[in-house]
Chains A and B, each alone.
Chain A
């Protein structure tokens, strides 16, 4: 079965640079979520979109922005990168918002030098 696709899988940036992470949800899924997972930590919710509209917001820094496009894929844009932004970034998707299981991609590992 098709899964959530994230690209790139690995990304290396320097401080103050920008990065764009992409997420392609499972076909027919209309809701996308972004999570950040630091080493040895739980995934932390950043932001979600339902039908191209922001539906919930967590601890996402002002330096980050995201959007969902008409084909339901989503992009997380990160600017003025800091060393502390080094983490695994996961995208998840679900069919609808009402307590539906969120299916995760394998993440983008972002390393800031």
Chain B
């Protein structure tokens, strides 16, 4: 059965303390893996798309990587404004719907 799972569920970091979020998937025919950031009461904000194993994308303090089984979102030297829920989602072989993985709530304390 297709599954997308994120870990940990929640992460508390000190400002400047780098860490990684995990998104593991067992999906037949992965067509794309997407990372979003969501603030309370807001819509998910698109961060990255990864299409094939070995691909990496970077934006400011964030870097996303993809293997055949999982994706990582690395947060380097985070700041309090990086506090948010980070969502991983996949598009499978058939259709264009996003299937989300549960999210990781990140809190960065000054």
Contact = CB atoms under 8 A, between A and B. Distances in A.
A62 B10 CA distance: 36
Contact of B97 (A56, A104, A107): A56
A4 interface: yes
B101 interface: yes
Interface stretch (B11-19, B40-48, B63-71, B75-83): B40-48
A104 B45 contact: yes
Contacts of A109: 41
A107 B98 contact: no
A56 B98 contact: no
Nearest to B45: A104
A43 B51 CA distance: 21
B34 interface: yes
B43 A33 contact: no
A77 interface: no
A38 interface: no
A82 interface: no
A86 B44 CA distance: 19
B43 A99 contact: no
Interface in A64-90: 90
Interface string B25-45: 000000110101000011111
Contact of B96 (A4, A97, A105): A97
B72 interface: no
B62 interface: no
Contacts of A107: 41-43
A101 B48 CA distance: 8
Given A4-B43, A42-B87, A104-B43, A58 B97 contact: yes
Interface of B: 31-32, 34, 36, 41-46, 49, 51, 87, 91, 95-103
Name the 4 nearest CB pairs between A and B, nearest first: A104-B43, A42-B100, A45-B97, A99-B32
Given A48-B97, A106-B42, 14 more contacts: A42-B101, A43-B44, A43-B98, A45-B99, A56-B95, A56-B96, A99-B31, A99-B96, A101-B34, A102-B46, A102-B98, A104-B43, A107-B41, A107-B42
